[in-house]
């Protein structure tokens, strides 16, 4: 090997050094990428579980609020009609969210 180094020009030595450095950096990048993937998978699993739990909590709270408002209203009296964007959109959001939660939990096996 020392004989080959004596025949190399400074430009060739620099090129070999750059190639070796690139290989080391590529190996480090692969190791870093695998490390990030493992942490991203863990974080995504935790976030999914939190979102599902929060979604169920929101659905339960909205159902409880609807039941409470229906129980507080005297029988035979209708709710006053109020026209606002929030009153028309909120039931649709509740329905969409309930359908989304039902769809997300339908394909998952129940844990004991």
Instruction: Please check whether residue 111 lies inside any domain of the structure.
Output: no
- Which of 107, 85, 106, 97 lies closest to 61 in space, CA to CA? 97
Residue-range definition of the domain harbouring residue 78: 2-106
**pLDDT at 34 > cutoff 70:** yes
- Packing angle, helices 10-72 and 85-106, rounded to 10: 120
Instruction: Please check whether residue 19 lies inside any domain of the structure.
Output: yes
Instruction: Please check whether residue 95 lies inside any domain of the structure.
Output: yes
Instruction: Please check whether residue 37 lies inside any domain of the structure.
Output: yes
Instruction: Please check whether residue 34 lies inside any domain of the structure.
Output: yes
**pLDDT at 96 > cutoff 60:** yes
Tally of domains in the chain? 1
pLDDT digits (tens, 9 = 90+) for 41-54: 777 777 777 777 77
Instruction: Please check whether residue 112 lies inside any domain of the structure.
Output: no
**pLDDT at 19 > cutoff 90:** yes
């Amino acid at each position: 090997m020392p004989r080959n180094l004596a025949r190399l020009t400074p430009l060739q030595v620099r090129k070999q050094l750059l190639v070796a450095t690139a290989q080391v950096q590529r190996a480090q990048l692969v190791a870093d990428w695998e490390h990030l993937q493992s942490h991203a998978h863990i974080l995504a699993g935790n976030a999914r579980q939190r979102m599902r739990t929060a979604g169920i909590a929101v659905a339960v709270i909205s159902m409880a609020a609807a039941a409470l408002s229906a129980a507080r209203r005297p029988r035979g009296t209708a709710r006053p009609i109020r026209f606002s964007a929030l009153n028309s959109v909120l039931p649709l959001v509740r329905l969409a969210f309930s359908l989304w939660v039902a769809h997300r939990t339908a394909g998952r096996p129940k844990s004991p």
